[in-house]
Chains A and B, each alone.
Chain A
Amino acid sequence: MADWSPTGAPFSISDRASASAQLERAYRRLVGFYPRSFRRESTEEIIAVLLATAREDQRRPSVMEAADLLRGALRMRLGLSGCPRTVLYAVRLMYLGALAQFGVLVILLMNWSGIEAAARGAATRSLGPHPAPAAVKYLYANIGATVGAELTADVVMTLLAIAGWALLAWANGRGLPYGRPLAIIACAAYAAVTAAGLGKGDMTYAPALAIASCVVVAVGIATVVLLVMRQSWPYYSRHVVAR
């Protein structure tokens, strides 16, 4: 039996016990990254499996083991593990929605001066071919503030939308009962606002913005469809029963 410690002395039972206790503590720290619901139900089970697959004299988790556990914890925390595929795809789409919304924000901020100039130009043209200088002056003094206020409101709305997507992804990933109604309401509201904006011609100054908004609406509709599909139902009712 080549059962020797590095110092040359045979492994005593207490050496082995302390190595195993050290390893178990390290595994427990890693499992600590999992969501509480998983830890409550499965900590002892996964620790037993980890110790059973460990090498005889192993004192700490290998890099691969640690990476595997951290990845598992992240997937569960993002709500991407315990749910049916339909909900899984919906949650991924929601995170994508947050990202797309972030794109809208960037476009908005990058085109700020362009949108202002375009609005000013359109307003000037509306005064006719030979506007009175006083009228132009009055217009310029006011339109900057008006357009600025509207754009600021847009930015705030977009920030809220990013937070909204993230919240919906979080709630639905966990199968919280209010996740789905909230998603449906949010999607309908966003579609209505976008449609109203398009109707008013708000977005004609920035076609990219209009396209991005339509993409967001399409993503929202796809999400809602996935969430109300038959395969998604057990995930939500499970939580109702469990709590």
Chain B
Amino acid sequence: MQEATFLILTALADGTQHGYGIISEVADISAGRVRLRAGTLYTALDRLRADGLIDVDREEIVDNRLRRYYRLSPEGGRRLAAEAARLQANARAAMKRLNPALGVI
């Protein structure tokens, strides 16, 4: 799973978000490191919807602008959990080897 995909799914993990909300959440989660551009975001959203990992939750009109809210699908939740567990296991293994004295949490 690409990092942008992982971060987008993470942004949706605890609630629905609209496009701009996802961009700010992703910036937050990555401590400002990943700033998604609109083109990249919508290419990713298009694919994630096709893969059934996210769904459209609802649409709202705010200041005459359309806002479409997205949510994680059950399958998206499972995939994100599996990917998070994999990354965690890898990170833990790396930390352990770098400093055996640290032990494993």
Which bucket holds chain B's interface residue count? Answer: 20 to 34
Identify which of residues 48-74 in chain A touch chain B, using a CB-to-CB cut-off of 8 Å. 48-53, 64-65, 68-73
Bound form: Cα–Cα A234–B51 in Å: 8
A42 within 8 A of B: yes
Q: Is the CB of A53 within 8 A of B46?
A: no
Contacts A84-B50, A84-B51; A42 near B43 (Cβ below 8 A): no
Q: Which residues of B contact A238 (CB under 8 A)?
A: 50
Chain B interface, DSSP helix/strand/loop, else mixed: helix
Instruction: Tell me the number of A-to-B contacts counted with CB atoms below 8 Å.
Output: 69
B54 within 8 A of A: no
B65 within 8 A of A: yes
Bound form: Cα–Cα A75–B39 in Å: 10
A44 within 8 A of B: yes
A85 within 8 A of B: yes
Tell me the nearest residue of chain A to B35, going by C-beta: A53
Chain B nearest CB: distance from A228 CB in Å?
17
Q: Is the CB of B46 within 8 A of A49?
A: no
Bound form: Cα–Cα A112–B47 in Å: 45
Q: Is the CB of A81 within 8 A of B43?
A: yes
Bound form: Cα–Cα A70–B37 in Å: 12
Residues of chain B whose beta carbon lies under 8 Å from any beta carbon of chain A: 19-20, 23, 37-43, 46-47, 49-52, 65-68
Seed contacts A42-B42, A46-B42, A234-B50; 13 additional CB < 8 Å A-B pairs: A44-B65, A47-B65, A48-B65, A48-B66, A49-B19, A49-B38, A50-B38, A68-B40, A69-B38, A70-B39, A75-B43, A82-B49, A84-B50
